[in-house]
Structure 1
Amino acid sequence: MELRQLQYFVKVAGKEHVTQAAEELHVAQSAVSRQIHQLEKELGVELFKQKGRNLQLTAVGQLFCTRVESILKDLDRAVAEVHEFLDPEQGEIRLGFPHSLGVHLLPVIIAEFKKRYPNVKFRFKQGMFTTLIRDVTEAEVDLAFISPFPDHHEQVSGDVVLTEELFAILPPGHPLAGESEITLHQLKDDKFILFSKGYSLRPIVLHACLEAGFTPKIAFEGEETDTIRGLVAAGMGVSLLPEMASYHNGNLAPTRVKISAPKVTRTIGLIYRSDDKLPLVAQSFRTFLLEHFNVKPCPEADK
């Protein structure tokens, strides 16, 4: 059994089509078909079955694919660790992050880090709270910024790097837009524009409104901070956004007002797998971040 056979098999399983797999692998279709046939012959089983114009994994093929994918990930990790051992300042960091941090925080952090380690490469993956947890636990990324920071999770550990205040975001013509600060209760009669279900900022805002004594009337839902800001600026409702998520570039912009009560905040953390040692280059990035935010490191990652 050859490594090339396993790589071809996983690619065909993902594409469910030999021709498309061959195109991505930059090899002839016949070469891919031959390797899959040899693999099936060696195993003594059929790994694929025909379904229309596509190929579908058989039951034993699905089982085999899960194992092979894990093996190939471990092999990629081993090769990366060898490269990092030879030169830890030229490795690659796989970093996950939520959309709200990609507007301002992430570009600033990466730019500062690249001044110190100019040859380090980054591979980014954006996601929601649950998908970022999954990406870390399944080794799709080495590290992930996440908000809120998960206080208890068996498979991930990390560090709270920042606690950020949320502000009221109001249309420019709103009666309270000229105030220096307001209470959240003063917005009880307004329509709210919130993030869709699954986004971590949504429950933070809902909980804050309940703490202020009311249930918000939801007019619209969005999936990006730019959408939330744009709808608020257009007078469609009000919202709450973290300071970093309230940056804007266009002419149509909402007004940001401080909330005096209740105090609404979110934690931002950096997480990694609890049962796995960070690659050297990722550990360098973590150390840089803790120094940048003046945070005492969590000891688990250094074991």
Structure 2
Amino acid sequence: MELRQLHYFVKVAQKEHVTQAAEELHVAQSAVSRQIHQLEQELGVNLFVQKGRNVQLTPAGHLFKKRIEAILLDLERAVTEVHEFLDPERGEIRLGFPHSLGISLVPQVVAAFRKKYPNVKFRFRQGMYPLLIRELVQGDIDLAFISPFPNDHDDVSGQVILTEQLYAILPPNHRLANETEIELQQLAEETFVVFSEGYSLRPIVMNACKEAGFVPKIGFEGEETDTIRGLVAAGMGVSILPEMALHYTGPLQAVKVTLSYPQVSRTIGLIHRTHEKLPHVSNLFHTFLLQYFDEPVNTD
């Protein structure tokens, strides 16, 4: 059984398509098919069944995939640990974060860190709250910025590093665009542009409207802060966004207005796996971040 066969097997299982797997692996389809066939012969069991143009794992294939993914992950960690042993300030940091933090916060802290440790590499993973938690627990990433901070999760620990204010954003020609601050109830009759289900900023907006005494009329939903902000700037409605999402200098500008009631904020946390020591280079970054954000309150 060869390591190459195991990598090919996992990629085909992920893609459920031999041709697509071969394209991502940058090898010929025939080479992938041959290695999978040899692996099945050695194991004495079919790992895949054909379904149209796709392939699906058999029950034995599912069992094998679960074990092999864990083995490959351990192997990857072992290689990383050896590299870090030889040079602690080289290596790779696997960092997850929601899209809204990729606009300014993540680039800023990574740039600041690499001034001290220029040889460190980063592998980024952007995604929604459930995905980041799952990939952290599974070991696909080692650290994650997340919002809101998960207070009750046995496998995840960390710190609140930042509490960020959210603002009402309005079209430039809106009747309240020249106000320095407003109450959210003043927008009760407006059409709202909000995040799609599953995004952590959506319940923040919905709960704020509930506290203000109304249920928002949702006209548009989006999956990126740029999309939300752009739709508002184009006059499609109003919204509530964190300050970090408003760093934009393009021609189509929404207006930021402070909310006097209710005041809306979100917590941003830095999390890691509870029962596992961070790799050395990730621990360097973790320590750097705590200092960068001025020693936040520990919530472990």
Report the TM range for the smaller structure's normalisation: over 0.9
Query: Paired residue for 2:278?
Result: 278
Matches within 5 A, 1:22-41: 22-27=22-27, 31-41=31-41
Q: Contact (CA 8 Å) 2:105, 2:244: kept in 1 or not?
A: yes
More displaced 10-residue stretch of structure 1: 171-180 or 30-39:
30-39
CA contact (8 A) 1:164 1:242 kept: yes
The equivalent of 2:114 in structure 1 is: 114
- Preserved CA contact (<8 Å) 1:290 1:297: no
Q: How far apart are residue 275 of structure 1 and its match?
A: 1.9
Stretch deviating more after TM superposition (52-61 or 196-205)? 52-61
Q: Within 2, Cα distance between the matches of 1:297 and 1:251?
A: 39
Let me know the Cα RMSD of the aligned residues.
2.0
Say whether residues 1:179 and 2:197 are aligned partners: no
> What one-letter code is carried by the residue in structure 2 that aligns with 1:95?
L
Distance 1:174 1:22, change over 3 A: closer
Does the Cα contact within 8 Å between 2:160 and 2:297 map onto a contact in 1?
Answer: no
In 1, distance between residues paired with 2:272 and 2:101? 17
Secondary structure of 1:145 counterpart:
strand
CA offsets, 1:175-232, max 9 Å, x none? 2111111111222222211111111111111111111111111121111111111111
Aligned to 2:268: 268
- What is the match of residue 233 of structure 1? 233
Give the gaps of 5 or more residues in structure 2. none
Q: CA–CA distance in 1 between the matches of 2:153 and 2:136?
A: 12
Q: Secondary structure at the match of 2:89?
A: helix
Q: 1:114 to 1:230 in 2, by over 3 A?
A: same
Q: TM-score with structure 1 length normalisation?
A: 0.92
CA 1:191–1:18 in 2, change beyond 3 Å: closer, same or farther?
closer
Q: Secondary structure at the residue paired with 2:123?
A: strand
Give, as a single letter, the amino acid of the residue that structure 2 aligns with 1:130: P
Equivalent pair of 1:184/1:259 in contact (CA under 8 Å): yes
Distance 1:30 1:208, change over 3 A: closer
Q: 1:279 to 1:191 in 2, by over 3 A?
A: same
**1:2 deviation in Å?**
3.0
Q: Once the 2 structures are TM-superposed, how far is the Cα of residue 142 of structure 1 from its aligned partner? A: 0.9
**Structure 1 residues 257 and 32, CA, compared in 2 at 3 Å: closer, same or farther?**
closer
Overall identity of the aligned pairs, in %: 68
Relative distance call for 1:52 and 1:196 in structure 2 (3 A) is closer
Helix, strand or coil: the match of 1:88? coil
Provide the rounded CA distance (Å) in 2 between the counterparts of 1:36 and 1:165: 53
Hey, what does 1:56 align to over in structure 2?
Answer: 56
User: What aligned pairs does 1:1-303 form with structure 2 within 5 A after superposition?
Assistant: 1-18=1-18, 20-27=20-27, 31-296=31-296, 298=298
Greater alpha carbon shift after TM alignment, 199-208 vs 37-46: 37-46
- How far off is 1:251 after superposition? 0.9
Structure 2 residue matching 1:107: 3-state secondary structure: helix
How far residue 246 of structure 1 moved from its aligned partner, in angstroms, is 1.2
Q: Is the 8 A contact 2:84 2:90 kept in 1?
A: yes
Could you give the per-residue CA deviations for residues 22-59 of structure 1, whole angstroms, max 9, x where no partner exists? 45445555554444333323322222333344443222
Q: Distance in 2 between matches of 1:54 and 1:183?
A: 54
Number of residue-to-residue matches in the alignment = 300
* Letter in structure 1 aligned against 2:67: R
Partner AA of 1:9 in structure 2: F
Cα pair distance change 1:25/1:173, threshold 3 Å: closer
Query: Structure 1's 284 and 178: CA in aligned 2 closer, same or farther, altered over 3 A?
Result: same
Any conservation in 1 of the 2:182–2:260 contact (CA below 8 Å)? Answer: yes
Q: Gaps spanning 5+ residues in structure 1: where? A: none
Distance 1:222 1:20 in 2: 29
